[in-house]
């Protein structure tokens, strides 16, 4: 029986239940290893019996752990203990945004804007990482004691929405108030659905109520689809017109007319208080949407109502019966498949135009080909003649001719455009690096390697540096000197650091003891920073690199490190044998450091990792000789 004093995974001691929802119980708990207070979400037993849900849940937990943002609640551990699935998260001491609105009514405009801006940046970060929340609502936004907002349930809401339909009407309505029209219709969603939900949330913050309400979830869903978005100034006459316009743009019925990104919405919110007339906020409804709204009530049919009833559930029907019925109804309403046309041999332009008649968004990729002219479709997936539905994925592979070895200039453009140009030139990139410094728009390429006009093959690797949101998690560097190396690494990993460079030096200190650290204690660093640890040189047969390593350095002042990948109690590290700040150009680097290799031979081979400005640009196997 799960309850206070239960210990999960031999580590997390439950203290008290602090919340519960349709899918889980939330406990305050003590992490016995780190002595930190955490929150533990425990899935209700009925959800653990659905194997498909469990498998998706595991994958989503792994994905959620990758999100590291100051305004996203971190899920950093999960597991199964004696039949109980649990997730360990940061504990936020505070209340939900929904609670604040229920207690206070409309929130102060300046505070509502400040919250919305931070949520925009958090969503932008997640969207760039490839995640869509799908359940943005004030119930999933925690507010701590200082007023700081945090998005909860990232990566998990999608599973719950896709794989369960609760029979509790209240639970359904809790989400349906914030559903986008495409969610209400049961269609696929993307980041623009999160933007719609954020617009609804902003409306509720400034007016104290949701824009659409009714007695049933079906009726609310129909309003999201058919009814015009209310004017927020009707409920809050003193509200700046700029905020009203931002809400209207975010909540357009047609997602193509909403903000194209959460960061675009953030940019408008930055100006809304200083430019209250909102003349800078530009948006328009599509003709199709306008006509749909005007004729919506006349065109409602029993069939569409029936479908929505089935999609959102009826309280009297058990969960699994609803899932089966919804699946059948969706399958019934989906367009019947048609044979896919043959696009091979068409030019890219003609193929895309033809493909858009059968699918809304074909994917185009590029391959070098000596047999087909550049710009001609050489392959498609699925193949011609296969049964195809409008929402099925379609990939067109376009010839890039013989390809190019010259690096184009892809700086000062958004990442998607830069990647498209590289694909069109038959160039594959090795790594995308995020950098929070500078004034470039988020998502834009601010640096590239190799430089424009340089040879790709001679450079050995291709990487782009992309501007990331500045609101990444930061920590204060702890004091780990005099700790054993395994203990020091464990402390750093618990603070979300992951890039560790190990240096060796002659010392009388005990082997594997941390002699020095960089950064120093109490230095504030971001969690994507590197950490240098110096330990006494280990005993054993030492080897050095047998010949120089040829590298192309992109610019003066580049930090170069060369190291051997290693592992310390499950933590990845790099033992550095060369480190220096180097000048631009072709360099023949001769690492002078040595490393202990467990071998009886005079010659051994090991992998070397090469870092430029703490970015791993290549790995190569080299020969080591006894040094």
**Full residue range of the structural domain in which residue 82 is found:** 6-90
Residues 6+ apart with CB under 8 A from 244: 231, 232, 233, 278
d(CA 395, CA 380): 6
Do both 391 and 456 map to the same domain? Answer: no
**160 vs 360, higher pLDDT:** 360
User: What value does the mean pLDDT take over residues 587-604?
Assistant: 90
Do both 239 and 372 map to the same domain? Answer: no
Q: For residue 595, what are the β-bridge partners?
A: 543
d(CA 121, CA 70): 10
What's the pTM? 0.49
The reported pLDDT for the residue numbered 323 is 41
Do both 19 and 41 map to the same domain? Answer: yes
- Decide if pLDDT at 325 tops 60: no
Do both 430 and 393 map to the same domain? Answer: no
pLDDT tens digit string along 251-300? 999 888 999 999 999 999 999 999 999 999 988 765 444 554 455 444 44
CB 258 within 8 Å of CB 251: yes
**558 vs 155, higher pLDDT:** 558
State the virtual CA torsion across 173, 179, 183, 188 in degrees, nearest 10.
-130
The reported pLDDT for the residue numbered 43 is 81
The reported pLDDT for the residue numbered 317 is 45
User: What value does the mean pLDDT take over residues 148-167?
Assistant: 53
CATH number for 43:
3.30.200.20
SS3 at position 524: strand
- For all residues of the chain together, what is the average pLDDT? 81
Is 321 inside a domain boundary?
Answer: no
Angle between helices 109-128 and 262-271 (to 10 degrees): 150
Do both 459 and 497 map to the same domain? Answer: no
The reported pLDDT for the residue numbered 472 is 60
Is 428 inside a domain boundary?
Answer: yes
The reported pLDDT for the residue numbered 112 is 95
The reported pLDDT for the residue numbered 65 is 65
d(CA 358, CA 391): 9
Is 325 inside a domain boundary?
Answer: no
Do both 185 and 289 map to the same domain? Answer: yes
Give the domain-ending residue among 467, 484, 511.
467
Is 309 inside a domain boundary?
Answer: no
What is the total count of domains within the chain?
5
Do both 501 and 564 map to the same domain? Answer: yes
Give the domain-ending residue among 39, 65, 90.
90
Do both 375 and 251 map to the same domain? Answer: no
Do both 514 and 604 map to the same domain? Answer: yes
User: What value does the mean pLDDT take over residues 70-88?
Assistant: 83
pLDDT band (50, 70, 90) for residue 484? very high
Other CB atoms within a 10 A radius of the CB of residue 85 amount to 21
pLDDT band (50, 70, 90) for residue 161? very low
User: What value does the mean pLDDT take over residues 303-329?
Assistant: 47
pLDDT band (50, 70, 90) for residue 22? low
d(CA 500, CA 513): 15
Range in 5-19, 333-347, 578-592 with the lowest mean pLDDT: 333-347
Q: Which of 77, 135, 153, 194 is catalytic?
A: 135
User: What value does the mean pLDDT take over residues 434-441?
Assistant: 74
Query: Per-residue b/e over 70-84, b at no fewer than 16 CB within 10 Å?
Result: bbbbbbebbeebeeb
The reported pLDDT for the residue numbered 205 is 97
User: What value does the mean pLDDT take over residues 98-124?
Assistant: 93
- From the list 154, 294, 297, the residue with the least C-alpha distance to 222 is 297
d(CA 565, CA 611): 12
Do both 82 and 214 map to the same domain? Answer: no
- From the list 412, 419, 408, 411, the residue with the least C-alpha distance to 453 is 408
Do both 616 and 562 map to the same domain? Answer: yes
User: What value does the mean pLDDT take over residues 552-567?
Assistant: 87
Query: Per-residue b/e over 247-256, b at no fewer than 16 CB within 10 Å?
Result: bbbbbbbbbe
User: What value does the mean pLDDT take over residues 323-338?
Assistant: 52
d(CA 176, CA 135): 9
- Decide if pLDDT at 92 tops 70: yes
Range in 17-21, 224-228, 455-459, 578-582 with the lowest mean pLDDT: 455-459
User: What value does the mean pLDDT take over residues 473-485?
Assistant: 87
CATH number for 130:
1.10.510.10
pLDDT tens digit string along 39-49? 998 887 777 77
Is 165 inside a domain boundary?
Answer: no
**DSSP letters spanning 383-446:** PTTSEE-TTS--EEEEE-TT---BPP--TTSBHHHHHHHHHHTT---SEEEEE--SSSPTTBEE
d(CA 233, CA 244): 7
What's the sign of the alpha-carbon dihedral 99, 105, 109, 110? negative
- Decide if pLDDT at 79 tops 70: yes
**44 vs 564, higher pLDDT:** 564
- Decide if pLDDT at 70 tops 90: no
Is 612 inside a domain boundary?
Answer: yes
- Decide if pLDDT at 191 tops 80: yes
d(CA 199, CA 47): 31
The reported pLDDT for the residue numbered 55 is 64
Do both 114 and 183 map to the same domain? Answer: yes
pLDDT tens digit string along 131-146? 888 889 999 899 988 8
CATH number for 449:
3.30.10.20
User: What value does the mean pLDDT take over residues 537-565?
Assistant: 88
- From the list 312, 373, 326, the residue with the least C-alpha distance to 345 is 373
pLDDT band (50, 70, 90) for residue 57? low
Asked about 135 being catalytic, the answer comes back as yes
- Decide if pLDDT at 486 tops 50: yes
Is 606 inside a domain boundary?
Answer: yes
- Decide if pLDDT at 245 tops 70: yes
Is 619 inside a domain boundary?
Answer: yes
**DSSP letters spanning 23-69:** SEEEEEEEETTTTEEEEEEEE-HHHHT-HHHHHHHHHHHHHHTT--B
d(CA 310, CA 324): 10
Phi and psi angles of residue 499, each rounded to the nearest 5 degrees, phi first: -115, 110
- Both tokens of 341, joined, read 């046309």
Give the domain-ending residue among 74, 90, 106.
90
d(CA 19, CA 96): 11
């Amino acid at each position: 029986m799960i309850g206070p004093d239960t210990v999960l995974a031999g580590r997390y001691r439950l203290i008290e239940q602090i919340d519960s929802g349709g899918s889980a119980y939330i406990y305050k708990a003590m992490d016995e290893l780190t002595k930190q207070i955490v929150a533990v979400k425990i899935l209700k037993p009925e959800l653990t019996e659905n194997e498909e849900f469990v498998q998706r849940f595991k994958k989503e937990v792994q994905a959620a752990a990758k999100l590291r943002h100051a305004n996203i609640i971190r899920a950093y551990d999960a597991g199964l203990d004696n039949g109980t699935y649990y997730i360990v998260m940061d504990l936020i001491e505070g209340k939900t945004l929904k609670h604040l609105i229920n207690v206070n009514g409309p929130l102060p405009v300046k505070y509502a804007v400040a919250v919305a801006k931070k949520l925009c940046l958090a969503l932008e970060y997640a969207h760039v990482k490839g995640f869509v929340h799908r359940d943005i609502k004030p119930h999933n936004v925690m507010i701590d004691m200082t007023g700081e907002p945090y998005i909860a349930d990232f990566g998990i809401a999608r599973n719950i929405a896709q794989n369960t339909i609760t029979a509790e009407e209240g639970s359904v309505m809790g989400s349906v108030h914030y559903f986008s029209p495409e969610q209400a219709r049961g269609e696929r969603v993307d980041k623009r659905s999160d933007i719609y939900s954020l617009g609804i949330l902003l409306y509720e913050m400034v007016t104290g109520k949701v824009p659409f309400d009714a007695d049933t979830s079906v009726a609310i869903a129909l309003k999201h689809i058919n009814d015009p978005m209310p004017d927020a100034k009707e409920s809050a006459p003193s509200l700046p017109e700029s905020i009203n316009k931002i809400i209207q743009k975010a909540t357009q019925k047609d997602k193509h007319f909403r903000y194209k990104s959460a960061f675009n919405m953030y940019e408008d919110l930055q100006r809304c208080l200083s430019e209250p007339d909102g003349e800078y906020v530009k948006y328009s409804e599509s003709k199709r949407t306008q006509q749909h709204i005007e004729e919506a009530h006349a065109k409602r049919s029993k069939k569409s109502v029936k479908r929505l009833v089935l999609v959102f559930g009826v309280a009297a029907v058990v969960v699994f019966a609803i899932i089966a019925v919804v699946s059948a109804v969706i399958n019934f309403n989906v367009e019947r498949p048609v044979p896919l046309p043959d696009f091979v041999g068409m030019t890219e332009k003609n193929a895309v135009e033809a493909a858009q008649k059968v699918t809304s968004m074909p994917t185009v990729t590029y391959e070098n080909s000596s047999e087909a002219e550049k710009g001609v479709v050489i392959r498609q997936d699925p193949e011609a003649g296969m049964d195809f539905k409008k929402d099925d994925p379609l990939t067109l592979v376009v010839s890039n001719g013989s390809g190019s070895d010259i690096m184009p200039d892809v700086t000062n453009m958004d990442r998607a455009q830069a990647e498209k140009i590289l694909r069109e030139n038959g160039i594959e990139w090795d790594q995308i690096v995020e950098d929070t410094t500078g004034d470039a728009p988020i998502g834009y390429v601010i640096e590239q390697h190799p430089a424009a006009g340089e040879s790709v093959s001679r450079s050995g690797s291709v990487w782009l540096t992309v501007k990331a949101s500045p609101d990444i998690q930061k920590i204060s560097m702890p004091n780990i000197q005099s700790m054993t190396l395994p203990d020091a690494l464990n402390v750093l990993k618990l603070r979300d650091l992951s890039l560790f460079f190990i240096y060796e030096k002659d010392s009388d200190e005990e082997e594997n003891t941390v002699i020095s650290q960089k950064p120093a204690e109490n230095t504030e660093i971001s969690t994507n920073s590197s950490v240098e640890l110096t330990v006494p040189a280990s005993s054993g047969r030492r080897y050095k690199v047998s010949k120089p390593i040829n590298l192309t350095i992109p610019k003066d002042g580049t930090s170069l490190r060369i190291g051997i990948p290693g592992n310390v109690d499950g933590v990845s590290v790099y033992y550095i044998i060369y480190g220096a700040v180097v000048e631009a150009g072709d360099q023949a680097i001769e690492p002078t450091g040595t490393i202990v290799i467990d071998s009886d031979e005079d010659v051994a081979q090991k992998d070397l990792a090469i870092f430029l400005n703490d970015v791993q640009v290549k790995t190569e196997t080299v020969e080591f000789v006894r040094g």
